[in-house]
């Protein structure tokens, strides 16, 4: 199968590039010019349809690779063997009722093999690295992207070198070491790790996966949107809620729905609601104050939600476009609301999310209060990572909402006394 990729386009200056001409960002705009991959949608629509996508057979079609016509790497020889994608879209009627929404679904990407949505980007980048014959792939990460790259590279036999801030949760650090990646614990912030990984890639010739820099990351992440549309019967929800750090996941979901609308497979775009932690909310401030992405400055990055703790979002231009072009909004929520959302989500749906993923639920409540969502809306909330990624964060959440184990002696009388004390009978 051949690719339908036409060209690359800068969302800031509009410059067009041949796919073989540029590896990372726009040469004119620099780091803010994170490139779009543009496809020949007329040819795709002539060769494929929603029915033909659904009718495909074979193991790849139970993964994100079922949408190969809309992806930049299609040769099965380069696709990592670790299956990624086709995660469930879970109805959440009790949570919808509690929030006052007509309908709510959870796109649960914590079900991916390394337990986060970042597997989608890493699968795509690993495939591209294999296509290029790159012996080493590197990335900066607050934990999830590094674990995802380590796992996908391990499955493909490619070496991974990861730069992670030393403050990252221990579970994430342990995970990527178990996969065999070379780990550098950076004595600084995620932004410091990002800059150091770029230096390493330039100095040693490593292929760089960095979010908001490598355009293949967006193409991997957009598959969550493609799946969502198909799972909803090839339509878009009224609103799609995404927690935001670098902005690449938000940019990817926008790109997925935009490609489908360009094909005519869906008839409208969802409104995108980007949710940031108050302590790391550069995009919220820029959206409220009308600051262009290229004029944004480094802001604070202090939040319990490590996966979205970013001072200067690297994919800020495409993230801002996603909100502005769909009549959406950016909202921010405090860490207390983020932590409280972890057990609220788990107890209402059975989905255990890490702080960054639970941020989206807190954001729904804030967006309703601000009028960016209405009770008539059908909403999809993207769950980006599993709660076991940050057990300490989950434990902190219980300090806010309550919940504890109950010691009991190993006797029927002791059990009876405890059951009665707890009001269980």
Tens of pLDDT, residue by residue over 47-100, are 999 999 988 889 999 999 999 999 999 899 999 999 999 999 999 999 999 999
pLDDT surpasses 90 at 172: no
Residue 170 is inside which H or E element, if any? helix 170-178
Number of C-beta neighbours around residue 391 at 10 A: 13
Residue 124 within a domain: no
pLDDT surpasses 80 at 256: yes
Residue 275 is inside which H or E element, if any? strand 271-277
**CA atoms within a 13 Å half-sphere pointing along the CA-CB vector of 304:** 24
pLDDT surpasses 60 at 1: no
Residue 383 within a domain: yes
Residue 148 within a domain: no
Mean pLDDT, residues 381-408 taken together: 90
Could you tell me the residue range of the domain that residue 102 belongs to? Answer: 89-114+217-401
What pLDDT was estimated at residue 284? 98
What pLDDT was estimated at residue 374? 97
Residue 122 within a domain: no
Residue 38 within a domain: no
Residue 410 within a domain: no
Q: How far apart are CA 92 and CA 164, in angstroms?
A: 34
> What sections of 290-411 are H helices per DSSP?
316-325, 335-349, 355-370, 391-401
Q: pLDDT for 321-359, tens place per residue?
A: 999 999 999 999 999 999 999 999 999 999 999 999 999
Mean pLDDT, residues 182-194 taken together: 92
What lies within 8 Å, CB to CB, of 318 at 6+ separation is: 11, 34, 36, 218, 247, 248, 250, 251, 254, 255
Task: Quote the pTM value.
Answer: 0.95
In this prediction, residue 400 has a pLDDT band, given cuts at 50, 70 and 90, of confident
In this prediction, residue 26 has a pLDDT band, given cuts at 50, 70 and 90, of very high
What pLDDT was estimated at residue 74? 86
CATH of the domain at 361: 3.40.50.1100
Percentage of residues in the chain having pLDDT higher than 90: 88
Mean pLDDT, residues 406-411 taken together: 93
- Strands 5-9 and 36-39 turn out to be antiparallel
Distance of alpha carbon 47 from the chain centroid = 30
Which region among 17-26, 117-126, 293-302, 398-407 has the lowest average model confidence (pLDDT)? 398-407
Average confidence score pLDDT of the chain: 95
Name the β-bridge partners of 39.
Answer: 5
CB 176 within 8 A of CB 159: no
Residue 231 is inside which H or E element, if any? helix 223-231
What pLDDT was estimated at residue 186? 93
The residue to which tokens 């036409």 are assigned: 6
> For the chain, how many structural domains are there in total?
1
CB 73 within 8 A of CB 79: yes
Phi and psi for 273 in degrees, rounded to 5?
-110, 110
Q: How far apart are CA 240 and CA 328, in angstroms?
A: 9
Residue 234 within a domain: yes
∠ Cα 39 327 353 (to 5°): 80
CB 98 within 8 A of CB 365: no
Residue among 15, 30, 18, 8 nearest 316 (CA): 30
pLDDT surpasses 90 at 267: yes
Mean pLDDT, residues 267-290 taken together: 97
Residue 264 within a domain: yes
What pLDDT was estimated at residue 2? 65
pLDDT surpasses 60 at 215: yes
How far, in Å, are 117, 120, 169, 216, 293 from residue 145 at the CA level? 9, 10, 13, 14, 23
């Amino acid at each position: 199968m051949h690719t339908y990729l036409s060209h690359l386009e800068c969302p800031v200056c509009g410059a067009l590039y041949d796919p073989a001409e540029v590896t990372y960002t726009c040469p004119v705009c620099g780091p803010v010019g994170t490139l779009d991959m543009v496809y020949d949608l007329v040819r795709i629509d002539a060769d494929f349809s929603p029915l033909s996508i659904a009718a495909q057979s074979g193991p790849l079609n139970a993964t994100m690779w079922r949408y190969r016509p809309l992806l930049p790497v299609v040769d099965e020889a380069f696709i990592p063997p670790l299956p990624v994608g086709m995660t469930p879209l879970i109805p959440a009627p009790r949570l919808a009722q509690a929030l006052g929404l007509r309908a709510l679904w959870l796109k649960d990407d914590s079900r991916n093999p390394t337990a986060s949505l970042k597997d989608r980007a890493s699968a795509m980048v690993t495939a591209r690295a294999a296509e290029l014959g790159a012996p080493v792939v590197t990335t900066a990460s607050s934990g999830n992207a590094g674990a995802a790259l380590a796992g996908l590279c391990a499955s493909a036999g490619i070496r991974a070198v990861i730069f992670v801030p030393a403050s990252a949760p221990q579970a994430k650090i342990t995970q990527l070491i178990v996969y065999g990646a070379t780990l550098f614990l950076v004595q600084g912030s995620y932004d410091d790790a990002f800059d150091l990984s770029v230096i390493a890639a330039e100095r040693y010739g490593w292929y760089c996966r960095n979010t908001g820099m490598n355009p293949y990351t967006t193409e991997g992440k957009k598959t969550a949107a493609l799946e969502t549309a198909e799972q909803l019967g090839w339509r878009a929800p009224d609103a799609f809620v995404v927690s935001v750090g670098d902005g690449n996941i938000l940019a990817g979901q926008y790109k997925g729905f935009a490609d489908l609308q360009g094909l005519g497979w869906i008839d409208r775009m969802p409104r995108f609601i980007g949710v940031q932690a108050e302590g790391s909310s550069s995009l919220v401030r820029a959206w409220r104050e009308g600051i262009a992405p290229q004029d944004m400055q480094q802001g604070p990055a202090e939040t319990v939600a490590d996966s979205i703790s970013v001072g200067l979002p690297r994919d800020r231009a495409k993230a801002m476009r996603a909100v502005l072009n769909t009549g959406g909004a950016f909202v921010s929520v405090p860490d207390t609301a983020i932590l409280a959302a972890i057990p609220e989500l788990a107890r209402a749906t059975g989905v255990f999310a890490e702080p960054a993923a639970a941020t989206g639920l807190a954001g729904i409540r804030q967006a309703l209060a601000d009028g960016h969502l209405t009770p008539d809306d059908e909403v999809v909330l993207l769950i980006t990572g599993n709660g076991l990624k940050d057990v300490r964060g989950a434990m902190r959440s219980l300090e806010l909402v309550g919940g504890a184990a109950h010691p009991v002696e190993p006797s029927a009388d002791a059990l009876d006394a405890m059951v009665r004390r707890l009001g269980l009978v």
